[in-house]
Structure 1
Amino acid sequence: MFKANFWKLIQSFLNFLKQLLIAHWRSLLVLLIGVYLPLQVFGLLALEVWENEGGFSWDELILLAIHTTSHSQLDVVAVTLTKLGSVWTVFPIVSGIALVFLIYRRWRSLAYLLTTALGSTIINRTVKIIMHRVRPQIWESPSPEFDYAFPSGHAMTSMTLVAALVILTWGSPWVVPILIFGSVFVVAIAWTRLYLGVHFPSDILAGWMVSVAWAIGVSLLIKPHLTKAIAVNDDDTLDENETSLSPEETHSLNEN
């Protein structure tokens, strides 16, 4: 009798688990590919840098290969272009987008954008202080940097901006051009940091990984993509989803 009831309990649980996985398989897949795997890569990079400040053997090899292309005119291009990936350049862009969200009462999108941008900056500064990896000193850079290197702030800033914009425009016609131009922008900023000799490639890769994980992780909590399921012409429903908490969020707030 006990065995029969116990087996029924197991079957009931397995049936529930199956339904749960079917209902949430997309979120679980995003969590695995978009958060867990990037954090795993970042963790491996951070561990190697922690144990050996010189990092990986391919760090210096890639830098030297890029340095063979150095030219005075390219120096000017790199020094100018790299400024586009700085916080001081991205901040006005984020502020402009945030202002648009504020005017049109897109609270959820605004909360996601600000949380992602501010959190990325805090993560970068914190990890740099913890890891205290010195900058490459292979050649004299035309635009030297003097703070810590790991992870790259420019790589994180550019990737966070593009990743956030992709998530915010997911399901709309804007996502394709943002993916294309955003990818070019991210790679271009990374090239400038390597060309100028102010970052190791592992700094860049680490910055990309933690930025992707952070942007996607925050999106799973704030869910700015809730509005993508709403019809374009259903403005009232769109506003309600942007300006109101979901039932789950309201329930969690009441419990606290």
Structure 2
Amino acid sequence: MHSRRSTSWALRAPAHWIVWSIVLFAVTIALGFVAKAIPAVRFDGLDAAVNGVNSPLLDAAALLLDRLDHPVVVAGILAVVFVILLFAVGWRRALGTCIVAGAGWLTTLVVKAAVAQPRPSTRDLTHVLDISPATLSYPSGHVVFAAALVTAMAMVSRAGLPRAIVVIVGTLFVLAVAWSRLYVGVHYGTDVVGGVLNGVAGAVLVAGLWNLVTQGRRRTR
């Protein structure tokens, strides 16, 4: 006899997920256009200030986190998350969590194309690392993935201490990724803020769609 945990498809998305998705994406894109039009809003110089406090250890950490949005790395992280959640919440919700994190991350391609913010120059950096970003600046795709992953994990976590741990550890992870993008000098301050907004928006949207698509399966069971 299957337990409720192992047969459940649903993730804990907000009740009004469509509204939340629209609002969050609207704020994300609006912030991008405002920052593009008004340089002062971009927190110019924040990357140089963060980069100014450097060390070999910080270099290693930033370069390690720089790999975070490579497709192979993302696939590896999601595979590990799936295996862990497989034993905790069952394969259905584990699969849903990975789809929410991965597809939520991919929504950044739409926001990047819409805003089309060029990368900041590295000429003001005192400590230049060998980083060659290939995509547009706003929002940070690394931060989008981190925020989408943490949001998805929070949606599948049990209420109480487990979810609190996920939120606290996840917040530290997102902050570390945001720091790393400023440290290597390839993003403005608004890029990492927009990355958090985009990541949460993408996760909420995909989670709502996941629940909608799997609703019929839940009823038949």
Q: Same fold (TM over 0.5)?
A: yes
Does structure 2 retain, via aligned residues, the 8 Å contact 1:63–1:194?
Answer: yes
Larger helix percent: 1
**Residue aligning to 2:218:** 246
Q: Number of residues paired by the alignment?
A: 202
Instruction: Give, in whole Å, the separation in 2 of the partners of 1:206 and 1:83.
Output: 20
Go from structure 1 to structure 2 and tell me whether the alpha carbon gap of 1:99 and 1:85 turns closer, same or farther (over 3 Å shift): same
Give the alignment partner of residue 131 of structure 2, picking from 112, 134, 144. 144
Structure 1 position 183, deviation (Å): 0.8
Give the alignment partner of residue 124 of structure 1, picking from 98, 105, 108. 108
**TM-score (normalizing by structure 1):** 0.65
Does structure 2 retain, via aligned residues, the 8 Å contact 1:135–1:145?
Answer: no
Given the alignment of the two structures, is residue 47 of structure 1 paired with residue 19 of structure 2, yes or no?
A: no
Look at both structures and tell me which one has the larger radius of gyration over its CA atoms: 1
**Residue aligning to 2:156:** 168
Instruction: Give, in whole Å, the separation in 2 of the partners of 1:104 and 1:197.
Output: 39
Structure 1 position 208, deviation (Å): 1.0
Structure 1 position 60, deviation (Å): 0.8
Structure 1 position 180, deviation (Å): 1.3
Instruction: Give, in whole Å, the separation in 2 of the partners of 1:188 and 1:121.
Output: 17
Q: CA RMSD in A?
A: 3.3
Give the alignment partner of residue 66 of structure 1, picking from 46, 50, 55. 50
Q: Give CA deviations for 1:185-215 in whole Å, capped at 9, x if unaligned.
A: 1100100100110111111111110111121
After superposition, residues 90-239 of structure 1 pair within 5 angstroms as 90-99=74-83, 106=90, 108-139=92-123, 141-147=128-134, 148-171=136-159, 173-223=161-211
**TM-score (normalizing by structure 2):** 0.73
Q: Give CA deviations for 1:125-175 in whole Å, capped at 9, x if unaligned.
A: 333344332211143530322322121110011111111101111426421
Q: Which amino acid aligns with 2:195?
A: G
Does structure 2 retain, via aligned residues, the 8 Å contact 1:86–1:153?
Answer: no
Identity %: 23
Structure 2: stretches of 5+ with no match in the other structure: 1-13
Does structure 2 retain, via aligned residues, the 8 Å contact 1:59–1:202?
Answer: yes
